[in-house]
Structure 1
Amino acid sequence: MNKKIILGSGSPRRKELLEGLGLGFEVDTGNSFREEYSPDTPHEQIPVLLSKGKSHGFHRQLTDNEILLTADTLVLCGDEVMGKPHDRADAIRMLRNLSGRPHKVITAVTIRDISHEVTFSDTAIVHFKQLSDSEIGHYVDCCRPYDKAGAYGIQEWIGYIGITGIEGSFYTIMGLPVHRVYEELMRFTAR
Protein backbone atom coordinates (compact mmCIF):
# COMPACT_ATOMS: atom_id res chain seq x y z
CA MET A 1 0.00 0.00 0.00
CA ASN A 2 1.54 3.31 -1.04
CA LYS A 3 -0.96 5.53 0.77
CA LYS A 4 -0.31 6.61 4.34
CA ILE A 5 -3.15 6.06 6.82
CA ILE A 6 -3.50 8.60 9.63
CA LEU A 7 -5.57 7.74 12.69
CA GLY A 8 -6.93 11.07 13.93
CA SER A 9 -7.74 9.71 17.39
CA GLY A 10 -5.87 9.41 20.66
CA SER A 11 -7.95 6.41 21.74
CA PRO A 12 -5.70 3.50 22.70
CA ARG A 13 -8.54 1.11 21.82
CA ARG A 14 -8.89 2.48 18.29
CA LYS A 15 -5.13 2.29 17.86
CA GLU A 16 -5.12 -1.34 19.04
CA LEU A 17 -7.99 -2.28 16.74
CA LEU A 18 -6.45 -0.60 13.69
CA GLU A 19 -3.13 -2.33 14.45
CA GLY A 20 -5.04 -5.61 14.39
CA LEU A 21 -5.81 -5.07 10.70
CA GLY A 22 -2.09 -5.25 9.93
CA LEU A 23 -2.06 -1.93 8.09
CA GLY A 24 0.67 0.59 8.71
CA PHE A 25 -0.55 3.91 10.08
CA GLU A 26 0.46 6.83 12.24
CA VAL A 27 -1.48 8.63 14.96
CA ASP A 28 -1.95 12.38 14.64
CA THR A 29 -4.41 13.97 17.05
CA GLY A 30 -3.95 17.60 16.03
CA ASN A 31 -7.46 18.97 15.76
CA SER A 32 -9.37 22.22 16.18
CA PHE A 33 -12.88 20.70 16.29
CA ARG A 34 -15.02 21.39 19.35
CA GLU A 35 -17.25 18.42 20.12
CA GLU A 36 -20.59 20.22 20.21
CA TYR A 37 -23.95 19.53 18.63
CA SER A 38 -27.44 20.96 18.71
CA PRO A 39 -29.79 19.47 21.34
CA ASP A 40 -32.30 18.69 18.57
CA THR A 41 -29.81 16.54 16.62
CA PRO A 42 -31.29 13.04 16.22
CA HIS A 43 -29.43 10.74 18.62
CA GLU A 44 -28.21 8.34 15.91
CA GLN A 45 -26.72 11.27 13.96
CA ILE A 46 -24.61 12.66 16.82
CA PRO A 47 -21.61 10.33 16.34
CA VAL A 48 -21.83 10.87 12.56
CA LEU A 49 -21.74 14.64 13.05
CA LEU A 50 -18.85 14.41 15.53
CA SER A 51 -16.83 12.01 13.37
CA LYS A 52 -17.16 14.33 10.37
CA GLY A 53 -16.31 17.33 12.53
CA LYS A 54 -13.16 15.64 13.79
CA SER A 55 -12.17 14.86 10.20
CA HIS A 56 -12.70 18.40 8.95
CA GLY A 57 -11.13 19.90 12.08
CA PHE A 58 -7.86 18.08 11.38
CA HIS A 59 -5.04 20.57 11.90
CA ARG A 60 -3.63 20.49 8.37
CA GLN A 61 -4.48 19.67 4.78
CA LEU A 62 -3.93 16.13 3.60
CA THR A 63 -1.42 15.36 0.88
CA ASP A 64 -2.39 13.28 -2.13
CA ASN A 65 -1.04 10.04 -0.59
CA GLU A 66 -2.72 10.36 2.84
CA ILE A 67 -5.94 8.86 4.19
CA LEU A 68 -7.41 10.24 7.42
CA LEU A 69 -9.61 8.13 9.70
CA THR A 70 -11.64 9.68 12.54
CA ALA A 71 -14.37 8.16 14.70
CA ASP A 72 -16.82 8.85 17.49
CA THR A 73 -18.73 6.49 19.79
CA LEU A 74 -21.95 7.20 21.64
CA VAL A 75 -23.98 5.13 24.10
CA LEU A 76 -27.75 5.53 23.97
CA CYS A 77 -29.82 4.20 26.88
CA GLY A 78 -33.48 4.96 26.35
CA ASP A 79 -33.44 8.66 25.48
CA GLU A 80 -30.23 9.42 27.36
CA VAL A 81 -27.16 10.15 25.26
CA MET A 82 -24.05 9.05 27.13
CA GLY A 83 -20.68 10.38 26.16
CA LYS A 84 -17.63 10.23 28.41
CA PRO A 85 -18.33 10.74 32.12
CA HIS A 86 -17.18 14.02 33.67
CA ASP A 87 -16.14 12.51 36.99
CA ARG A 88 -16.60 9.55 39.35
CA ALA A 89 -20.17 10.48 40.28
CA ASP A 90 -21.14 10.79 36.61
CA ALA A 91 -19.56 7.40 35.80
CA ILE A 92 -21.48 5.77 38.66
CA ARG A 93 -24.72 7.43 37.53
CA MET A 94 -24.23 6.18 33.96
CA LEU A 95 -23.48 2.61 35.03
CA ARG A 96 -26.50 2.56 37.34
CA ASN A 97 -28.66 3.66 34.39
CA LEU A 98 -27.18 0.93 32.16
CA SER A 99 -27.56 -1.74 34.84
CA GLY A 100 -30.15 -4.38 33.95
CA ARG A 101 -31.09 -2.65 30.69
CA PRO A 102 -30.17 -3.04 27.04
CA HIS A 103 -28.58 -0.05 25.34
CA LYS A 104 -27.25 0.92 21.93
CA VAL A 105 -23.63 1.68 21.12
CA ILE A 106 -23.19 3.66 17.91
CA THR A 107 -19.76 4.21 16.40
CA ALA A 108 -19.40 6.46 13.36
CA VAL A 109 -16.29 6.61 11.21
CA THR A 110 -15.16 9.14 8.62
CA ILE A 111 -12.45 8.19 6.14
CA ARG A 112 -11.20 10.71 3.61
CA ASP A 113 -8.38 11.62 1.31
CA ILE A 114 -7.98 14.80 -0.76
CA SER A 115 -10.73 13.86 -3.22
CA HIS A 116 -13.08 11.36 -1.56
CA GLU A 117 -14.88 11.03 1.75
CA VAL A 118 -17.11 8.40 3.29
CA THR A 119 -18.87 8.38 6.65
CA PHE A 120 -20.73 5.40 8.04
CA SER A 121 -21.99 4.21 11.38
CA ASP A 122 -22.48 0.83 12.96
CA THR A 123 -24.78 0.00 15.85
CA ALA A 124 -24.62 -2.78 18.43
CA ILE A 125 -26.92 -3.56 21.33
CA VAL A 126 -25.44 -4.46 24.71
CA HIS A 127 -27.26 -6.23 27.55
CA PHE A 128 -26.02 -5.68 31.11
CA LYS A 129 -27.03 -7.77 34.10
CA GLN A 130 -28.26 -5.94 37.18
CA LEU A 131 -25.03 -4.51 38.60
CA SER A 132 -24.59 -4.01 42.34
CA ASP A 133 -23.39 -0.69 43.73
CA SER A 134 -20.24 -2.44 44.97
CA GLU A 135 -19.50 -3.82 41.47
CA ILE A 136 -20.01 -0.39 39.95
CA GLY A 137 -17.86 1.32 42.59
CA HIS A 138 -15.09 -1.27 42.25
CA TYR A 139 -15.01 -0.90 38.47
CA VAL A 140 -14.98 2.90 38.50
CA ASP A 141 -12.24 3.00 41.15
CA CYS A 142 -10.11 0.29 39.49
CA CYS A 143 -10.47 1.09 35.81
CA ARG A 144 -11.25 4.83 35.88
CA PRO A 145 -13.43 4.74 32.73
CA TYR A 146 -13.46 8.50 32.19
CA ASP A 147 -12.29 8.22 28.58
CA LYS A 148 -15.09 5.85 27.53
CA ALA A 149 -18.57 6.58 26.25
CA GLY A 150 -21.10 5.22 28.72
CA ALA A 151 -18.38 4.91 31.39
CA TYR A 152 -17.36 1.36 30.51
CA GLY A 153 -15.10 -0.70 28.30
CA ILE A 154 -16.55 -4.00 27.11
CA GLN A 155 -13.03 -5.48 27.18
CA GLU A 156 -12.55 -4.61 30.86
CA TRP A 157 -13.64 -6.18 34.17
CA ILE A 158 -17.18 -4.77 33.99
CA GLY A 159 -17.62 -6.40 30.59
CA TYR A 160 -16.40 -9.75 31.91
CA ILE A 161 -18.81 -9.84 34.83
CA GLY A 162 -21.68 -7.68 33.64
CA ILE A 163 -22.41 -8.10 29.95
CA THR A 164 -24.84 -10.93 29.31
CA GLY A 165 -25.14 -10.52 25.56
CA ILE A 166 -24.47 -8.37 22.53
CA GLU A 167 -26.17 -7.99 19.18
CA GLY A 168 -23.77 -6.69 16.56
CA SER A 169 -20.03 -6.21 16.45
CA PHE A 170 -17.92 -6.42 19.61
CA TYR A 171 -15.47 -4.04 17.93
CA THR A 172 -18.14 -1.41 17.30
CA ILE A 173 -18.68 -1.41 21.06
CA MET A 174 -14.92 -1.05 21.61
CA GLY A 175 -14.93 2.02 19.37
CA LEU A 176 -14.07 0.96 15.81
CA PRO A 177 -16.14 -1.32 13.54
CA VAL A 178 -13.04 -2.86 11.98
CA HIS A 179 -14.96 -5.04 9.51
CA ARG A 180 -16.37 -1.92 7.84
CA VAL A 181 -13.17 0.11 8.28
CA TYR A 182 -11.13 -2.55 6.48
CA GLU A 183 -13.53 -2.64 3.50
CA GLU A 184 -13.49 1.14 3.13
CA LEU A 185 -9.71 1.42 3.52
CA MET A 186 -9.27 -1.19 0.78
CA ARG A 187 -11.46 0.95 -1.50
CA PHE A 188 -9.45 4.07 -0.69
CA THR A 189 -6.08 2.41 -1.21
CA ALA A 190 -7.19 0.91 -4.54
CA ARG A 191 -7.84 4.38 -6.01
Structure 2
Amino acid sequence: MLILASASPRRRELLTQAGLDYIVEPADIDETPLPNEAAAAYVQRLAIEKAQAVYKLHASNLEPPLVLAADTCVVLDDRVLGKPTSGADAVRMLTMLSGRTHAVMTGVAAVSALRTVADVEITQVTFNLMTEAEIREYVDGGEPLDKAGAYAIQGYAARWIPRIEGDYGNVVGLPIARVVRLLAEVLAPVETKVATDLIA
Protein backbone atom coordinates (compact mmCIF):
# COMPACT_ATOMS: atom_id res chain seq x y z
CA MET A 1 0.00 0.00 0.00
CA LEU A 2 1.35 3.41 -1.02
CA ILE A 3 0.44 6.34 1.23
CA LEU A 4 0.85 9.90 0.03
CA ALA A 5 1.66 12.01 3.09
CA SER A 6 0.34 15.20 1.53
CA ALA A 7 -2.97 17.00 1.17
CA SER A 8 -1.90 18.69 -2.07
CA PRO A 9 -4.45 18.15 -4.86
CA ARG A 10 -1.73 18.82 -7.41
CA ARG A 11 0.42 15.99 -6.09
CA ARG A 12 -2.60 13.67 -6.14
CA GLU A 13 -3.27 14.59 -9.77
CA LEU A 14 0.32 13.92 -10.79
CA LEU A 15 0.44 10.53 -9.06
CA THR A 16 -2.87 9.55 -10.65
CA GLN A 17 -1.67 10.62 -14.11
CA ALA A 18 1.42 8.44 -13.58
CA GLY A 19 -0.82 5.43 -12.94
CA LEU A 20 0.08 4.95 -9.28
CA ASP A 21 -2.46 3.64 -6.77
CA TYR A 22 -2.34 5.30 -3.36
CA ILE A 23 -4.27 6.62 -0.41
CA VAL A 24 -3.87 10.05 1.15
CA GLU A 25 -2.83 10.64 4.75
CA PRO A 26 -1.35 14.10 5.31
CA ALA A 27 1.46 14.48 7.83
CA ASP A 28 1.34 16.96 10.69
CA ILE A 29 4.83 18.20 11.54
CA ASP A 30 6.58 21.42 12.57
CA GLU A 31 7.75 23.09 9.36
CA THR A 32 9.86 25.80 10.98
CA PRO A 33 13.23 26.17 9.20
CA LEU A 34 16.34 25.51 11.26
CA PRO A 35 18.80 28.40 11.81
CA ASN A 36 20.83 29.04 8.62
CA GLU A 37 19.26 26.00 6.94
CA ALA A 38 19.77 25.97 3.16
CA ALA A 39 16.62 25.71 1.06
CA ALA A 40 17.51 22.33 -0.47
CA ALA A 41 18.31 20.88 2.94
CA TYR A 42 15.08 22.33 4.31
CA VAL A 43 12.74 20.74 1.74
CA GLN A 44 14.54 17.40 1.93
CA ARG A 45 14.36 17.37 5.73
CA LEU A 46 10.66 18.18 5.73
CA ALA A 47 9.93 15.48 3.16
CA ILE A 48 11.77 12.90 5.27
CA GLU A 49 10.05 13.99 8.49
CA LYS A 50 6.62 13.89 6.87
CA ALA A 51 7.17 10.42 5.41
CA GLN A 52 8.60 9.02 8.62
CA ALA A 53 5.80 10.54 10.75
CA VAL A 54 3.11 8.81 8.70
CA TYR A 55 5.09 5.56 8.46
CA LYS A 56 5.37 5.36 12.26
CA LEU A 57 1.59 5.39 12.52
CA HIS A 58 1.47 2.15 10.51
CA ALA A 59 4.80 0.51 11.35
CA SER A 60 3.14 -2.21 13.45
CA ASN A 61 0.88 -3.33 10.60
CA LEU A 62 1.31 -6.89 9.35
CA GLU A 63 2.23 -5.33 6.02
CA PRO A 64 3.90 -1.96 6.75
CA PRO A 65 3.11 0.60 4.06
CA LEU A 66 5.25 2.48 1.61
CA VAL A 67 5.01 6.20 2.39
CA LEU A 68 5.77 9.03 -0.03
CA ALA A 69 6.12 12.66 1.02
CA ALA A 70 7.25 15.88 -0.60
CA ASP A 71 7.83 19.53 0.19
CA THR A 72 8.25 22.33 -2.35
CA CYS A 73 9.60 25.84 -2.03
CA VAL A 74 10.40 28.72 -4.37
CA VAL A 75 13.86 30.23 -3.95
CA LEU A 76 15.00 33.63 -5.21
CA ASP A 77 18.43 35.00 -4.28
CA ASP A 78 18.78 32.32 -1.57
CA ARG A 79 15.49 33.51 -0.07
CA VAL A 80 12.69 30.98 0.42
CA LEU A 81 9.25 32.11 -0.70
CA GLY A 82 6.53 30.01 0.87
CA LYS A 83 2.78 30.37 0.53
CA PRO A 84 1.64 34.01 0.83
CA THR A 85 -0.02 34.97 4.07
CA SER A 86 -2.28 37.57 2.40
CA GLY A 87 -3.07 39.22 -0.91
CA ALA A 88 -0.51 41.91 -0.17
CA ASP A 89 2.11 39.25 0.51
CA ALA A 90 1.29 37.57 -2.81
CA VAL A 91 1.75 40.90 -4.59
CA ARG A 92 5.11 41.32 -2.86
CA MET A 93 6.30 37.86 -3.97
CA LEU A 94 5.17 38.24 -7.57
CA THR A 95 6.79 41.66 -7.79
CA MET A 96 10.06 40.05 -6.68
CA LEU A 97 9.72 37.25 -9.26
CA SER A 98 8.79 39.56 -12.15
CA GLY A 99 11.46 39.57 -14.86
CA ARG A 100 13.67 37.16 -12.91
CA THR A 101 14.71 33.51 -12.92
CA HIS A 102 14.16 31.56 -9.70
CA ALA A 103 14.51 27.98 -8.50
CA VAL A 104 11.73 25.62 -7.52
CA MET A 105 13.01 22.95 -5.13
CA THR A 106 11.08 19.85 -4.16
CA GLY A 107 12.32 17.47 -1.52
CA VAL A 108 10.95 13.96 -2.02
CA ALA A 109 11.20 11.10 0.47
CA ALA A 110 10.02 7.50 0.53
CA VAL A 111 9.94 5.23 3.58
CA SER A 112 9.49 1.47 3.62
CA ALA A 113 10.22 -1.29 6.12
CA LEU A 114 13.66 -1.54 4.52
CA ARG A 115 14.89 2.04 4.50
CA THR A 116 14.32 5.74 3.96
CA VAL A 117 15.48 7.37 0.74
CA ALA A 118 15.27 11.03 -0.24
CA ASP A 119 16.34 13.46 -2.93
CA VAL A 120 15.82 17.03 -4.13
CA GLU A 121 14.69 18.10 -7.61
CA ILE A 122 15.51 21.64 -8.77
CA THR A 123 13.91 23.44 -11.72
CA GLN A 124 14.76 26.93 -12.93
CA VAL A 125 11.74 29.06 -13.83
CA THR A 126 11.91 32.37 -15.74
CA PHE A 127 9.20 35.03 -15.48
CA ASN A 128 8.59 37.83 -17.97
CA LEU A 129 8.13 41.31 -16.58
CA MET A 130 4.64 41.80 -15.15
CA THR A 131 2.93 45.12 -14.68
CA GLU A 132 1.55 46.14 -11.30
CA ALA A 133 -1.96 45.93 -12.74
CA GLU A 134 -1.37 42.39 -14.03
CA ILE A 135 -0.07 41.26 -10.67
CA ARG A 136 -2.99 42.74 -8.77
CA GLU A 137 -5.52 41.25 -11.19
CA TYR A 138 -3.89 37.82 -10.80
CA VAL A 139 -3.89 38.05 -7.01
CA ASP A 140 -7.49 39.29 -6.94
CA GLY A 141 -8.45 36.14 -8.88
CA GLY A 142 -7.35 34.05 -5.88
CA GLU A 143 -5.09 31.53 -7.62
CA PRO A 144 -1.82 32.59 -5.94
CA LEU A 145 -3.05 32.49 -2.35
CA ASP A 146 -2.29 28.83 -1.56
CA LYS A 147 0.75 28.37 -3.81
CA ALA A 148 4.44 28.49 -2.92
CA GLY A 149 5.85 31.62 -4.51
CA ALA A 150 2.29 32.88 -5.11
CA TYR A 151 1.80 31.33 -8.55
CA ALA A 152 0.65 28.17 -10.33
CA ILE A 153 2.56 27.33 -13.51
CA GLN A 154 -0.30 25.06 -14.62
CA GLY A 155 -2.76 27.93 -14.23
CA TYR A 156 -3.11 31.56 -15.25
CA ALA A 157 0.53 32.34 -14.45
CA ALA A 158 1.69 30.29 -17.45
CA ARG A 159 1.21 33.41 -19.59
CA TRP A 160 4.25 35.01 -17.92
CA ILE A 161 6.58 31.98 -17.96
CA PRO A 162 8.42 31.68 -21.29
CA ARG A 163 11.02 29.16 -20.16
CA ILE A 164 11.82 26.53 -17.58
CA GLU A 165 14.93 24.39 -17.22
CA GLY A 166 14.18 21.04 -15.62
CA ASP A 167 11.16 18.98 -14.62
CA TYR A 168 7.81 20.69 -15.26
CA GLY A 169 6.01 18.40 -12.79
CA ASN A 170 8.43 19.56 -10.13
CA VAL A 171 7.09 23.11 -10.48
CA VAL A 172 3.52 21.81 -10.25
CA GLY A 173 4.43 19.97 -7.05
CA LEU A 174 5.95 16.54 -7.69
CA PRO A 175 8.81 15.37 -9.97
CA ILE A 176 7.24 12.09 -11.09
CA ALA A 177 10.31 10.56 -12.76
CA ARG A 178 12.34 11.16 -9.59
CA VAL A 179 9.50 9.76 -7.47
CA VAL A 180 9.27 6.54 -9.49
CA ARG A 181 13.02 6.04 -9.11
CA LEU A 182 12.89 6.60 -5.36
CA LEU A 183 9.99 4.18 -4.94
CA ALA A 184 11.97 1.50 -6.75
CA GLU A 185 15.03 2.22 -4.61
CA VAL A 186 13.19 2.14 -1.29
CA LEU A 187 11.71 -1.27 -2.13
CA ALA A 188 14.88 -2.82 -3.55
CA PRO A 189 16.24 -5.85 -1.63
CA VAL A 190 19.09 -4.94 0.70
CA GLU A 191 21.65 -7.01 -1.20
CA THR A 192 20.68 -5.29 -4.48
CA LYS A 193 21.18 -1.85 -2.99
CA VAL A 194 24.55 -2.83 -1.50
CA ALA A 195 25.72 -4.11 -4.86
CA THR A 196 24.58 -0.90 -6.56
CA ASP A 197 26.41 1.20 -3.98
CA LEU A 198 29.60 -0.78 -4.59
CA ILE A 199 29.36 -0.27 -8.35
CA ALA A 200 28.76 3.46 -7.89
TM-score calculated relative to the size of structure 1: 0.91
Q: Which amino acid aligns with 2:34?
A: S
Kindly indicate whether residue 4 of structure 2 is the aligned counterpart of residue 47 of structure 1. no
Q: 1:23 aligns with which of 7, 20, 34?
A: 20
Counterpart of 1:120 in 2: which secondary structure? strand
Report if the CA contact (8 A) 2:116-2:186 is conserved: no
Q: Quick check: 1:61 aligned with 2:58?
A: yes
Instruction: Work out whether residues 95 and 150 of structure 1, in 8 Å CA contact, stay in contact via their aligned partners in 2.
Output: yes
Alignment of 1:22-171 (within 5 A): 22-29=19-26, 31-58=27-54, 60-62=57-59, 63=61, 64-159=63-158, 161-171=159-169
The answer to whether the Cα contact below 8 Å between 1:92 and 1:137 also exists between their aligned partners in 2 is: yes
Structure with a larger share of its residues in helix? 2
Q: 1:190 Cα deviation (Å)? A: 5.5
What displacement does 1:65 show? 4.2
TM superposition shift of 1:189 = 4.9
Q: Secondary structure at the match of 1:186?
A: helix
- Once the two structures are TM-superposed, the CA of residue 114 in structure 1 deviates from its matched residue by 2.1
CA displacement 1:113-172 (0-9 Å, x = unmatched)? 12211010100000000011121112112133222110111101112x100100001011
| Larger Rg belongs to | 2
Per-residue CA distance 1:69-122 (angstroms, 9 max, x = gap): 010001111132111111111111000000000000000101011221101010
Percentage of identical aligned residues: 37
Higher strand share: 1
- Matches of 2:131 and 2:125 in 1, distance apart? 18
**How many residues are paired up?**
186
Moved over 6 A (4+): none
Query: Counterparts of 2:143 and 2:19 in 1: how far apart (Å)?
Result: 29
Which residues of structure 1 form unaligned runs of 5+?
none
Q: Secondary structure at the match of 2:174?
A: coil
CA contact (8 A) 2:70 2:107 kept: yes
1:105 & 1:150 partners in 2: Cα distance? Answer: 9
SS of 2:32's equivalent?
A: coil
Tell me which amino acid in the other structure corresponds to 2:33.
Answer: Y
**2:2 corresponds to 1:5:** yes
State the AA in 1 paired with 2:171: I
**Aligned equivalents of 1:56, 1:189: Cα separation in 2:** 15
